[in-house]
């Protein structure tokens, strides 16, 4: 990558149709794990005008009302439009039972009680390459564009939920462009915000522009080191008004916002969805383990930025490949860092579940862990105590 460049990342509110699907899918995961921490569940969601479609495969050892969960999430997000709301939308389901799992491919076992040799016997059922990234651009070791885009999206949703701007509907999108000089954030080039509005209560454009600048943009940058300047380009609903937004305008699907879930495309990410999967899926939890490794490397001041790549294959407990890229910022070689990771980090499926206590996080967070994780990033969160964000391995480097 060039030393001087412009980079943009986007985020969306929890009412964006894709994120709504992620939230519904992960709310179902939460409910299964609350009833049975060892439950296996894979669920996907799609939404359109007045319709929610749920497809799920699961072990029939839990009593979960899929339809009711979906309606609760829709209501919580704030959809009360005539053509899409939690009370009247049609919900279609396609539910299938998963075949029983063998001990070698997962069963009802407590990872905390497993010996090392037993952990080695728990193999992955998917082939995937996952990525983790960290850098020194922000205090939480995330790239600045996605960090700011998430903050703006969260604030846009908050002012709607707190009824500070009553005319906003749940769907919204933000984008932040950052100019880099010598590979470091230098200034804010542009801020874009699409704020959909209720069809029955729409402000004129000037009111919308003034309100968003005052209630959304201004508070977010109040304590940021890099502030918008007189040349920063700010666009608010710069195209046609977004009308009411939501599923009545554009459809949604689980797993379609992977870049928003991770690093805003500043770093690579897997094509596999993160939401809607129980902790036995390596394509989900492997991404968390890779972030954990990358963050500890940067926090240990071994590199200013780092990408960790883990490649898994069906039938193996460990990743076939552990690759590290520090983009010329490493104080020791990438190969040496990779060997340290292989020795001191447990990237095995059961090892990750054991270390992060992934099966019991919903019960430890009042029944709503994965649903909350579904919006504003699966990594780099400050509002949640994520075990993969802990920097407890800095001493090994």
The token pair that represents 337 in the structure block: 């860092």
DSSP letter at 216 equals I
**Per-residue pLDDT tens digits for 318-367:** 999 999 999 999 999 999 999 999 999 999 999 999 999 999 999 999 88
Specify whether the CB–CB gap between 10 and 265 falls below 8 A. no
Mean pLDDT for the stretch of residues 370-387: 97
Mean predicted confidence (pLDDT) in 66-88: 93
At residue 1, the pLDDT reads: 62
Give me the pLDDT at residue 205, please. Answer: 85
Q: pLDDT at residue 106 above 80?
A: no
pLDDT tens digit sequence for 223-281? 999 999 999 999 998 555 456 788 988 899 999 999 999 999 999 999 999 999 999 99
- CA pair distance 318, 345, nearest whole angstrom: 11
Which 8-state DSSP code applies to residue 277?
Answer: B
List Cα–Cα distances, 345 to 126, 185, 342, in angstroms. Answer: 21, 31, 6
Q: What is the percent of the chain where pLDDT is above 70?
A: 95
pLDDT at 88 over 80: yes
Q: Domains in the chain, start-ordered, CATH in brackets? A: 5-12+143-246 (3.30.300.10), 128-137+255-272+281-396 (3.30.300.10)
CB of 260 closer than 8 Å to CB of 273: no
Once rounded to an integer, what is the mean pLDDT over residues 42-65? 92
Of 30, 23, 82, nearest in space to 257 by CA:
23
Confidence of residue 103 (pLDDT cuts 50, 70, 90): very low
pLDDT at 238: 57
pLDDT computed for residue 83 by the predictor = 86
Tell me if 300 sits within 8 A of 284, measured CB to CB.
no
Query: Measured between alpha carbons, how far is 39 from 41 in angstroms, rounded to an integer?
Result: 6
pLDDT at 303 over 90: yes
Strands (E), the chain: 5-12, 41-48, 51-58, 80-81, 84-85, 90-97, 128-135, 168-181, 184-197, 233-236, 252-253, 305-312, 321-325
Mean pLDDT, to the nearest integer, of 284-295?
98
What are the CA-CA distances from residue 57 to residues 123, 231, 257 (Å)? 20, 52, 22
The candidate with the shortest Cα–Cα distance to 15, out of 97, 104, 78, 91, is 78
| Structural contact between residues 140 and 281, judged by C-beta atoms closer than 8 angstroms | no
pLDDT digits (tens, 9 = 90+) for 182-226: 999 999 999 999 998 886 677 888 899 999 999 999 999 999 999
**How distant, in Å, are the alpha carbons of 20, 161, 372 from that of 369?**
15, 20, 5
Which residue reads 């922000």 in tokens? Answer: 138
Could you report the per-residue pLDDT of 138-188, keeping only the tens digit for each?
A: 999 999 999 999 999 999 999 998 989 989 999 999 999 999 999 999 999
Q: Which residues of 172-188 are buried (b: 16+ CB within 10 A; e: fewer)?
A: bbbbbbbbbeebebeeb
Average pLDDT taken over every residue of the chain: 93
Name 260's Cβ contacts closer than 8 Å, sequence gap at least 6.
10, 11, 12, 19, 146, 149, 377
Q: What is the pLDDT of residue 201?
A: 73
Residue 104 confidence (pLDDT): 45
pTM of structure: 0.95
Taking CA atoms, 252 is separated from 17, 23, 53, 241, 385, in Å, by 4, 11, 10, 20, 28
């Amino acid at each position: 990558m060039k030393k001087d460049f412009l980079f943009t990342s986007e985020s969306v509110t929890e009412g964006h149709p894709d994120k709504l699907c992620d939230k519904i899918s992960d709310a179902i995961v939460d409910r299964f794990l609350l009833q049975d921490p060892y439950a296996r569940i894979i669920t996907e969601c799609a939404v359109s005008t007045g319709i929610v479609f749920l497809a799920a495969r699961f072990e029939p050892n839990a009593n979960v009302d899929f339809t009711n969960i979906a309606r609760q999430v829709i209501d919580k997000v704030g959809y009360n439009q005539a053509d899409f709301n939690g009370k009247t939308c049609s919900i279609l389901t396609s539910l299938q039972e998963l075949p029983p799992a063998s001990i070698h491919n997962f069963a009802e076992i407590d990872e905390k009680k497993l010996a090392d040799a037993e952990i080695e016997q728990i193999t992955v059922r998917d082939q995937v390459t996952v990525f983790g990234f960290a850098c020194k651009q922000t205090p939480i070791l995330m790239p600045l564009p996605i960090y700011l885009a998430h903050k703006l999206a969260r604030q846009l949703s908050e002012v709607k939920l707190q009824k500070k701007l009553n005319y906003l509907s749940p769907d919204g999108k933000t984008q932040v462009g950052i100019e880099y000089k010598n590979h470091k954030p230098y200034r804010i080039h542009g801020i874009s915000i699409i704020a959909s509005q209720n069809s029955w209560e729409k402000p004129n454009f000037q009111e919308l522009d003034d309100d968003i600048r005052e209630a959304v943009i201004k508070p977010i940058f109040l304590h940021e080191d890099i502030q918008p300047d007189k040349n920063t380009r700010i666009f608010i609903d710069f195209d046609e008004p977004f009308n009411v937004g939501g599923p009545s305008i554009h459809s949604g699907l689980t797993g379609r916002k992977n870049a928003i879930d991770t690093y805003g495309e500043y770093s690579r990410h897997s094509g596999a969805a993160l939401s809607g999967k129980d902790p036995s899926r390596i394509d989900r939890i492997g991404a968390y383990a890779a972030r954990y490794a990358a963050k500890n490397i940067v926090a240990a001041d071994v590199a200013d930025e780092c990408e960790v790549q883990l490649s898994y294959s069906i039938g193996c407990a460990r990743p076939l490949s552990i690759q590290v890229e520090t983009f010329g910022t490493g104080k020791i070689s990438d190969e040496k860092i990779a060997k340290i990771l292989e020795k001191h980090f447990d990237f095995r499926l059961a090892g990750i579940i054991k270390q992060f206590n992934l099966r019991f996080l919903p019960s430890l967070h009042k029944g709503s862990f994965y649903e909350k994780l579904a919006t504003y990033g699966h990594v780099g969160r400050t509002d949640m105590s994520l075990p993969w964000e802990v920097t407890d391995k800095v001493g090994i480097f």
